Amino acid sequence: MRTESHSRATLLREQMKRQQVDALIVPRFDAHQGEYVAPCDARLAWLTGFTGTAGFAIVTPQTIEMFVDGRYSVQVTHECAGEGFGFHHLLDQAPDRWLASADPAWIVGYDAMLLPPTWAGRFRAVLSNRLKALDDNLIDSVWHDRPPPPNAPIRPFPLQLAGRSPWQKRDDLTQAMSEVGADLLIETQPDNIAWFLNLRGSDFSYVPTMRSFMLVRQDGSAQLFVDSGQVTDEIVDFLPAWLTVHPLPEFLPEVERQLATDRVVLLDPDFTPDAVSLRVDRAMARMLHQISPLTLRKAVKNPVELAGIRDCHLHDGVALTEFSAQLVQMLPTTELEAEELILALRRRNDGFLMSSFRTISASGANAAMCHYAATPESNAPITARTTYLLDSGAQYESGTTDATRCLAFGPVSPAYRQAYTAVFKAFHALMTLRFPVGTKGHHIDAICRRPLWDMGMDYDHGTGHGVGHSLSVHERPQRIGKEVNDVNIAAGMILTIEPGHYVPGEFGIRIENQVEVVQRHDGFLEFSNLTLVPIQLSMLNLDDLSPEQLGWLVDYNQTIRAKLGPLLSAVALEWMDRNAAALPTHSPGARSRPRNHLQELTEA
């Protein structure tokens, strides 16, 4: 174990002894169970050094057991190197199952504000009365230089960007609550609250929201809980009259007060703190464990939101295309310099707010780590002999972007070329799919993976995730993956399509576009492309592509040339033309391919 982690674990174990617990569950979650946390809530990273966005640690008397999914299986061993750590894949050996086989005499502690009921229930099922909810967070008691909570002002999100007012959204919400018989909605997801009230913030590094909770009653009255210092006079004037504002610490006491009269409580079991669920139980109120109605409504974008999303992809496409062209001229360079370049290019765009996640700028073998983040220690060179992967996105006032491209600056190995071609085939299979209403993400996941499976390849992450509207880049509930997701893909949803292939120690490949789900005249659904970034062709085995796949590539790159051409520099146009030269402009596939939405965009 690293010296710093070892000393911190020693302090923590002393606190555990005082609280009479033998093991401690330390999740990556904050009180909102979200993907990104404020620095003051980065407890898992402080204790272990692990900086991924999902995972658990179980601190035992001798070890720290780390549990992560396939995105972080390589990263966690690098960041938590040394003795004293154990490593587990979340799917192969979940933390609750691991505890079931651990010392049967252990009392296991947890902070009930940092686990949702679904996870607390899993631990309770194997530990029974040996699971102990703690009144205080034990890490906070030994984290002496813990950063203060963020307190940047909350800002209004104007109707011309949001498309619908909080009053309209409230009417939809109370109708949904009435349909299920709920007296009270307990909302703990900051992106849902920001969307519902047309607010934005900057409490998190990559999501323009604020740390907040909300209670909404059947009569339409509501309470917002935020840091009092973030509420300006402008926000007070902007907020609707049916909403009152309260300090964050009043959230749990107010829940208890409301339970005296509101007897049917709707909460999302995946995102509400278990501390809330325990209070509802004590009050003997009835809990409706359901996806929040706001989550479902936020996922289907209104026409104004969709127009903004399309617009921000145009500007983001310019930045990413300029990046590809300028990177060639910068060689040799480094991963961190490339990361600085894409940020600088995006900052030129009107409406740019921040990156939507930490850019994955990965050269060579570093790209085999799905969620790699370059550091001064790992900062690898990018040269004419290396392959390179950029997975990067941005938050704009009008929308959120996320795209991945692979680049090569010279010849690539046969293994890389074979894998890159298979990944493109997988990408094409889903980008061109038509499917009926009622289709769920897990129904179509294998269609994307089939070209890789045919080659004995696969990837250990989802095929696609939802994307918000100037909100979370990983938005629920829409998702495409192997795991069952009982949510229909619907017109108006935004998703990514991102198959990949990774060879540890050698290379990683991923191609990712964002798409809008659209419904055609015959009732079937399709994915309409949003991402306007050329796909590099020189790494493909062109002879292995079908006429349809070749035609799609021609259509796609020509569409980008037509839409972005007037906005691009001469250097970027030259790079696009060199890339296009790898394919005949008038390939048989292009002549035979039927009209599609890419051609319609070009002609618009």
d(CA 420, CA 414): 10
Q: How many CB atoms lie within 10 A of CB 128?
A: 8
User: In DSSP terms, which residues pair with 132 in a beta bridge?
Assistant: 109
Secondary structure of residue 500 in the 3-state scheme: strand
* pLDDT computed for residue 2 by the predictor: 60
Q: How many CB atoms lie within 10 A of CB 108?
A: 22
- Using DSSP bridges, classify how beta strands 500-503 and 494-497 pair: parallel, antiparallel or unpaired: unpaired
At 126-161, the pLDDT tens digits run 999 999 999 899 999 999 999 999 989 999 999 999
d(CA 461, CA 75): 14
Q: Which residue has the tokens 């006079």?
A: 233
Threshold 0.75, pTM exceeds? yes
Please give the DSSP secondary-structure letter assigned to residue 395.
E
Whether the per-residue pLDDT at 269 is higher than 60: the answer is yes
Q: How many CB atoms lie within 10 A of CB 103?
A: 12
Confidence of residue 598 (pLDDT cuts 50, 70, 90): very low
In this structure, are residues 496 and 514 in contact, taking their beta carbons and an 8 Å threshold?
A: yes
* pLDDT computed for residue 257 by the predictor: 94
Residue 350's Cβ-count burial label (10 Å; 0-12, 13-18, 19+) is exposed
Kindly report whether the peptide bond that precedes residue 588 is cis, defined as omega within 30 degrees of 0: no
CA distances from 558 to 125, 175, 555 (A): 56, 46, 5
* pLDDT computed for residue 595 by the predictor: 39
CA 321 to chain CA centroid, Å, is 23
Whether the per-residue pLDDT at 578 is higher than 50: the answer is yes
d(CA 195, CA 221): 17
Closest CA to 378 of 42, 45, 81, 41: 81
Residue 371's Cβ-count burial label (10 Å; 0-12, 13-18, 19+) is buried
Whether the per-residue pLDDT at 5 is higher than 80: the answer is no
d(CA 25, CA 139): 11
d(CA 295, CA 476): 7
In this structure, are residues 259 and 223 in contact, taking their beta carbons and an 8 Å threshold?
A: no
* pLDDT computed for residue 599 by the predictor: 43
At 284-300, the pLDDT tens digits run 999 999 999 999 999 99
* pLDDT computed for residue 69 by the predictor: 86
Secondary structure of residue 43 in the 3-state scheme: helix
How much is the average pLDDT of 158-175? 97
At 482-536, the pLDDT tens digits run 999 999 999 999 999 999 999 999 999 999 999 999 999 999 999 999 999 999 9
How much is the average pLDDT of 62-67? 95
* pLDDT computed for residue 92 by the predictor: 86
Q: Which residue has the tokens 């609707």?
A: 240
Whether the per-residue pLDDT at 548 is higher than 50: the answer is yes
* pLDDT computed for residue 91 by the predictor: 80
Whether the per-residue pLDDT at 600 is higher than 50: the answer is no
Task: Concatenate the DSSP letters of all residues of 520-562 into one string.
Answer: -TTS-EEEEE----PPP-TTS-GGGS-HHHHHHHHHHHHHHHH
Closest CA to 417 of 537, 577, 555, 556: 537
In this structure, are residues 494 and 470 in contact, taking their beta carbons and an 8 Å threshold?
A: no
d(CA 147, CA 39): 6
Residue 487 makes CB contacts below 8 A (sequence gap 6+) with 291, 296, 440, 441, 477, 478, 479
Residue 504 makes CB contacts below 8 A (sequence gap 6+) with 74, 365, 368
User: In DSSP terms, which residues pair with 527 in a beta bridge?
Assistant: 517
Sign of CA dihedral 230, 233, 237, 241: positive
How much is the average pLDDT of 61-71? 91
Q: How many CB atoms lie within 10 A of CB 143?
A: 18
Q: What interhelical angle do 547-564 and 303-330 show, nearest 10?
A: 90
* pLDDT computed for residue 53 by the predictor: 84
In this structure, are residues 190 and 212 in contact, taking their beta carbons and an 8 Å threshold?
A: yes
Task: Concatenate the DSSP letters of all residues of 68-80 into one string.
Answer: E-GGGHHHHHHHT
Closest CA to 560 of 308, 322, 306, 301: 322
User: In DSSP terms, which residues pair with 23 in a beta bridge?
Assistant: 108
d(CA 129, CA 108): 9
Task: Concatenate the DSSP letters of all residues of 417-464 into one string.
Answer: HHHHHHHHHHHHHHHT-EE-TT-BHHHHHHHHHHHHHTTT---SS-SE
Q: Which residue has the tokens 């990949």?
A: 500
Amino acid symbol at 232: T
- Using DSSP bridges, classify how beta strands 494-497 and 513-519 pair: parallel, antiparallel or unpaired: antiparallel
Task: Concatenate the DSSP letters of all residues of 322-354 into one string.
Answer: HHHHHHHHH-SEEHHHHHHHHHHHHHTSTTEEE
Closest CA to 61 of 100, 106, 93: 106
Confidence of residue 70 (pLDDT cuts 50, 70, 90): confident
The two structure tokens encoding residue 370:
């799905």
Q: Which residue has the higher pLDDT, 594 or 443?
A: 443
Confidence of residue 35 (pLDDT cuts 50, 70, 90): confident
Q: How far is it between the farthest Cα atoms of the chain? A: 75
Q: Which residue has the higher pLDDT, 81 or 399?
A: 399
d(CA 398, CA 468): 10
Residue 55 zone, left/alpha/beta (φ > 0; ψ -120 to 50; rest)? left
**Phi, then psi, of 465 in degrees rounded to 5:** -130, 160
How much is the average pLDDT of 336-345? 98
Whether the per-residue pLDDT at 104 is higher than 80: the answer is yes
Whether the per-residue pLDDT at 589 is higher than 50: the answer is no
Query: What's the mean pLDDT when you consider all of the chain?
Result: 93
CA atoms within 13 A on the CB side of 372: 32
**Phi, then psi, of 61 in degrees rounded to 5:** -60, -25
In this structure, are residues 112 and 134 in contact, taking their beta carbons and an 8 Å threshold?
A: yes
| % the chain with pLDDT above 90 | 88
Q: Which residue has the tokens 């003051």?
A: 40
Please give the DSSP secondary-structure letter assigned to residue 570.
H
